[in-house]
Chains A and B, each alone.
Chain A
Amino acid sequence: MINATLQLAQAGSGATFVQTLTKALALGSVYVLIALGFVIIFKATQVLNFAAGALSMAGAMFMTILISDGGFPLLPFDNPLAPAEGETASIAVFFVHVLIALALAAILGLVIERLTIRPMVGQPLFAMAVITLGIEIAIRPFNLDATALEGRRLGVPWGADSWVWGGAVVPKSYIVAMVIASIAGASVLFFFRTKLGVAMRAVAFDQEAAMAQGINVGRVFAIAWAMGTALAALGAIVYGMAPFPPGGSVSQEIHPLLALRVLPVIVLGGLDSVAGAIYGGLIIATAEVFAGQYLSQWNSTLGSGYSTIVPYLVMLFMLLVKPYGLFGTPEIRRV
């Protein structure tokens, strides 16, 4: 059995490599999106958002509710979709639904910020972090109730279709994931060069001083939560496209834990670094996917799920050698 696997890998080693690399980059794209959500909220508010898992999944749920439950009354077009397995939306309809779902996720983020985070401005950060944990616990049951065990389909137009390049089979979803993450990553990078982006950095360092410079701290908080929640939701939506879960759906099995899998990414990249989120996402996903592919002959020794451990090993190593992450801001101390 082991010999057979080895021979197969050697026979198409070039194609295998391309497939593994695209899978790594695609998974990395999902990690990047969710990590950016963490980073934006952390950059503005210094709070690690433990609600990211539930919020991202809620955003993907909005998407499935919009697209598969026979229409959303406010949509300007007739929604014909209640996709069964294999049924798909047109590309335009799909992306309009994505945008609406992201808008709803952003509104959810705004509401949560206004109700639970804003009253805590000036309170210990630890208390705020615990509140986000509470939000996670409060929202998760809604997600799970709304999801069937087999998952809810997104009606992705290209389904599980693939392109074949020189023997390498590359799912279209992987390329779409990379494109979406590239656009989102570039937008966020450039966002921090705007007046509002700089204001966000200032608020992170010192709220009182930022106010004295004429920066509206409440508004910065609100925008950070709206953007952070929408980015996390986008990550969860992308992660619902086949073949991330084989059928292509938002599922009880993989979505609630997605944010947890991104934790190593932000630790590696640095909690407050956009570049860190991007590099971290790609590095962690590469380590995870390549370990899964190329160490598979030791499955019997390592156990079948060992590749999911790899990110945490990288994270542990990073915490030992460079606790602020690759690109994080180390605290400056005068000595």
Chain B
Amino acid sequence: MSEHILEADGITLRFGGVTAIHDVSFHVNQGELFSIIGPNGAGKTSIFNTISQVYRPQQGDIHWKGESIMGHRPDFVAQLGIARTFQNIELFPQMTVIENLLLGRHIRMKQNWFQGMLWFGVAKVEEMENRRRVEDIIDFLEIEEWRNHPVALLPYGIQKLVELGRALAMDPELLLLDEPVAGMNLEETEDMARFILDIRRELGISMIMVEHDMGLVMDIADRIMVLDFGEKIAEGTPEEVQKDPNVIAAYLGSSDLHVSSE
């Protein structure tokens, strides 16, 4: 069990009479880029919300490094090292890029209120360390020029990067990326793909990515899980998933068409 960093077992989530997720199990290996795909409303984002415990599934269990995280608060899950980005950007709009990223350092701060008020001791040392860390991330994501802009004024693609940067600032071990390239043009998508690959290679962070851009998913994911109407219909490497008749049927409504590997 322990080689799987995250393990979900028989998750079922219902909203009243609607079953959003039905008996879904999966696992994520250390350092892996695991992708969840599926048509709209298949339950992809709901999976994220159950991992971060914003939703409480009625059945099933989720283990993080062998320990159950069920029933804990979302902020506790974040402190374990599970960071996430959101499908519809959830930044702190009036704050600058730097301030947003510094907020990602929140769980890493150990200062007490007195030190924070008067800015001495641990608070001062920490602040400088956090600044340095944030500047590294800004450097990494190549958003230097936007550093002091309030994020509400930035272009959409940059906001997506800032959100990724804020998640990285938490020094996570698992990153949940909810549609990281939604609404981006080709160039921005390629940039984002490069960053995601760099995060895996240079920082060694495991990732779960929900994405509609099949080209991106097939190119960079290690393993893919396919959901349809809340149920898992396939799981495997990109090649396996593309050939799976259930997947082809779910996406195209008929099994005699092929999904392009492009």
Contact = CB atoms under 8 A, between A and B. Distances in A.
B92 A209 contact: yes
Contact of B152 (A190, A191, A199, A334): A334
Contacts of B73: 211, 216, 218
Interface in A304-331: 329
A212 B152 contact: no
A333 B76 CA distance: 33
B116 interface: yes
B117 A208 contact: no
Contacts of B76: 214
Contacts of B92: 201-202, 205-206, 209
Given A208-B54, A211-B78, A195 B84 contact: no
B236 interface: no
B109 A213 contact: no
Contacts of A216: 73, 75
A195 B109 contact: yes
Contacts of B104: 213
A222 to B, nearest CB: 14
Interface in B74-126: 74-76, 78-79, 83-84, 86, 90-95, 103-104, 106-107, 109, 111, 113, 116-119
A191 B95 CA distance: 18
A215 B104 CA distance: 10
Given A195-B109, A205-B93, A213 B116 contact: no
Chief secondary structure at chain A's binding surface: helix
B147 to A, nearest CB: 17
B117 A191 contact: yes
A213 B170 contact: yes
Contacts of A333: 152
A15 to B, nearest CB: 39
Given A208-B90, A214-B79, A216-B75, A202 B103 contact: yes
A140 to B, nearest CB: 34
A194 interface: yes
A88 B93 CA distance: 52
A180 interface: no
Contacts of B78: 211-214
B83 A332 contact: no
Among B52, B104, B106, B150, the most chain A Cβ lie within 10 Å of the Cβ of B106
Contacts of A213: 75, 78, 103-104, 106-107, 166, 170
Contact of A212 (B84, B109, B116, B119): B84
B54 to A, nearest CB: 7
A209 B86 contact: yes
A197 interface: yes
B75 A214 contact: yes
Interface residues of B, number: 34
A195 B73 CA distance: 19
B153 interface: yes
Contacts of A206: 90-93
Given A213-B78, A332-B152, A195 B111 contact: yes
Nearest to B152: A332
Contacts of B166: 213
Given A190-B117, A211-B75, A217-B75, A198 B106 contact: yes
Among B75, B79, B90, B107, the most chain A Cβ lie within 10 Å of the Cβ of B75
Across the A-B interface, the 7 shortest Cβ-Cβ residue pairs: A194-B116, A214-B78, A214-B107, A209-B90, A332-B152, A190-B117, A211-B74
Interface of A: 187, 190-191, 193-199, 201-202, 205-206, 208-209, 211-218, 329, 332-334
Given A195-B116, A212-B74, A333-B152, 14 more contacts: A191-B117, A194-B113, A195-B106, A202-B106, A208-B54, A209-B90, A211-B52, A211-B73, A211-B74, A212-B52, A213-B78, A213-B170, A329-B94, A332-B150
17 contacts: A187-B117, A193-B117, A198-B106, A201-B95, A202-B103, A202-B106, A211-B52, A212-B52, A212-B78, A213-B78, A213-B104, A214-B76, A214-B106, A214-B107, A329-B94, A333-B152, A334-B152
